[in-house]
Structure 1
C-alpha cells in the first residue's frame, strides 16, 4: 500500500493503514509516498528561510504579490541565479553536474508539467538554457498542498528580483531556498519514484542534509530532524530493495547478504519506520540496517531468492534475479496518480452536485457507462441505444 504520511494514515491505533491490514487480515508492505516525504523536507526549509508566517494561510503572501505583479515582468530580462556572487560560490562545485542531470531527465517523459518546469528553471538558474530555450510560465497555484509550488516560485522570483520589490529578509530567504533546491532537492525529488533506489537514496539524502550544516546550520538541523522521522525505506523489511539498485556496489551487497544470516535480536524494533540517531548516522551504511527479518520482503512478495546464494557479481546474469528486479521496480513508491485523482473528483463533484448520495449514484453511472463503452471508436459507439 502506498500512502501519504499524515497521521490519519499512519496512526498506530486508528490509522487507515492499520485498519486496512485488519480488514484484510494480512500484513502489507508500507510504501510511504516519497514525494510526500520530500514535500515535508522543502516545507521545513521554507519555514526556516521565510519565517513563521509562511504557513499561516493557504496562500503565501510573497507568492501572491508576485503572481499579481507578473503582468509587469519583462521575462526577457531575467538574471540567472549564479549572477549573484553569494549564490555562485555556493553552487559552483555542483553546477555542471546538476545541469547535466536536469537535461538528462528532460529528455525523458515527466508525469506533470510542473516537474518539467522545475527541471528547466534549475538549468536557467545555473546559467544555462534548456533544449527548447528559456521560457517562463505564468505563476500558477500556490497553496501548500501543491507539490513544486514553493521551489518553482522561489526560483522564479529570485531570477526576476531586479524587477520585483523584495525586502532584505525576503532576498536572503529566497537565496537560501534556491541554493538548497539546486544542491540537494532536485536530485532527491526526481529520483523519488525509483523503488529499488529508495533505501540508498534515503541514506545519501540524510547524510547530505547533515553535511549541509557547513552551508546553512539551521536548514540542516530542521530538515535532518524532519526526515529522520520518515525512515520507512531503511526499515528491516524495505532495506532489501537495495539488492536491486545498480548503484549499490557488490561489496555492499555481500555485506547485506551476510547480515541477513545473523540471528534476529528479539529485542529489536520491528516498526515499519525506524528511528535513527543523527549524531552517528554519518558512519552508517546499508548493511547496518539489514537483519534476518530483511528476508521478509522477498517472502511477502513471493520473489525468488536463489540469487542470494551466489556472489553479487553474478546476479545480473541470473533469471531469478532479473525476475525479482522487474517486480520490485514495478512497485509504486509515490502516489502522484492518487493525488491527481482526488483533486479531479473534488472539482468534478462540485460542478454537478453537492449532495453526497447523488454523487455516489453519479459515479456508478459513469462507471457503468465506461464498462459499456470503453472507447470512442465508431464500431463501439455504433452499438449505442
Structure 2
C-alpha cells in the first residue's frame, strides 16, 4: 500500500491544482504523507537568502560567485587569524562538525562544506581552501560553500572585494608620467584589463547553444554539462588549429 510520496520541491510536483502530488492523491482518493526532499528544502531556504542579498537572476550562474571564481588565482588563499570569531558557535555544533568529519561522505561537496564550517567555527583543521568549482543553480550546496569561502577570505583580499571610486581615481592627482608607479592606477589598470565585454560573451554563448542544440543530447541537464565541456575545451586549446592537433 502506498502511504507517502518523496519528491523534489518544484511546482510540477507541489502545485495546488495540477501538481503531481495533488493529482496522485485525487487518483487514489485519499491523503498521502508528503515527504519533500530534505536537500531541496534547504535549497529553497538558501535560494531565498541569496535572492534577498543579491537580487533575482534568470541566468545559470550567480555573477558575484562567477567573478569570485575568476579572480581566484589573484587572491590570498590563507584566512587571516582573528582575535574575535566570525560567529559564536555552540559546543553542540562544534561537536557535530567534529563527529561528521570522521564519517565517510559519498559527496565531496558535503565534506568541503564541513571543512569550511569547521574553519568558521575556529576548529583546528589543517586543510587548504579549495579552488571554487562550477556554480550552476542546480547545485544547491555550492551557495553555502561559496558564501563560507568568501567570508573566510574577505579580510585578506579586501582590495579585490572593495574597488571603490575614491581608490581608483586618486591617481588623477598625480602627473601622468608617474601614473604607472601609483598603486591606485595599478589597481585600476588591472580592473579595466579584466573587464569582459558583455555583448561579445553573450554572442559567443548564443552561438555555442545554437551549434550544439539537440545535436548530441536532448536532455536539458546533460546539455548544460556538454556546453561547459565544450567551453572549457575551447579555453584549453585556444591556440591550437587542425595542423597542430594532428602533430600531438
Other structure's SS at 1:79 match:
coil
Counterpart of 1:159 in structure 2 is 152
CA spacing shift, 1:351–1:153, aligned 2, 3 Å: farther
Distance between the aligned counterparts of 2:120 and 2:37, measured in 1?
A: 28
Higher relative contact order (CA 8 A, sep 6+): 1
Is 2:45 aligned against 1:51? Answer: no
* CA distance in structure 1 between the aligned counterparts of 2:35 and 2:14, rounded to whole angstroms: 11
How many Å apart are 1:353 and its aligned residue?
A: 4.3
In the alignment, does 2:8 pair up with 1:4? yes
Query: Which one of the candidate residues 38, 49, 54 is aligned to 1:34?
Result: 38
Alignment RMSD: 3.0
Sort the Cα spacing of 1:65 and 1:23 in 2 relative to 1 into closer, same or farther, 3 A: same
Find out whether 1:71 has 2:73 as its counterpart. Answer: yes
Q: Is the 1:124–1:134 Cα contact (8 Å) retained in structure 2?
A: no
Whether the 8 Å contact between 2:14 and 2:20 is mirrored in structure 1 is yes
Task: Give distance in 2, aligned partners of 1:15 and 1:128.
Answer: 45
The Cα offsets for residues 36-67 of structure 1, whole Å up to 9 and x where unpaired, read as: 1122222222233x2325x3532112111111
* Correspondences of 1:1-385 after superposition (within 5 Å): 1-23=5-27, 27-48=31-52, 50-53=53-56, 55-75=57-77, 77-79=78-80, 83=82, 85=84, 88=85, 91-92=87-88, 94-130=89-125, 133-161=126-154, 162-163=156-157, 165-167=160-162, 352-354=216-218
Distance 1:145 1:84 in 2: 37
Aligned in 2, Cα 1:84/1:157: closer, same or farther, shift over 3 Å?
A: farther
Instruction: String of CA shifts for 1:338-363, please: whole Å, max 9, x gaps.
Output: xxxxxxxxxxxx785449xxxxxxxx
How far apart in 1 are the matches of 2:58 and 2:17? Answer: 30
Cα distance in 1 for residues equivalent to 2:115 and 2:19: 39
Q: 1:353 to 1:154 in 2, by over 3 A?
A: closer
Encode CA deviations 1:231-280: one digit per residue, 9 max, x unaligned.
xxxxxxxxxxxxxxxxxxxxxxxxxxxxxxxxxxxxxxxxxxxxxxxxxx
**Conserved 8 A contact 1:106-1:116:** yes
Q: Which runs of 5+ in 2 are unaligned?
A: 165-213, 220-248
Measure how far apart 1:96 and its partner are: 3.7
What is the rounded CA distance, in whole Å, between the counterparts of 1:103 and 1:2 in structure 2?
30
- Extract unaligned runs of 5+ from structure 1: 170-349, 356-385
Whether the 8 Å contact between 1:5 and 1:33 is mirrored in structure 2 is yes
Post-superposition shift, 1:152?
0.6
Compared with structure 1, are the counterparts of its residues 136 and 36 closer, same or farther at alpha carbon in structure 2 (3 Å cutoff)? same
* Rounded Cα–Cα distance in structure 2 between residues aligned with 1:84 and 1:17: 51
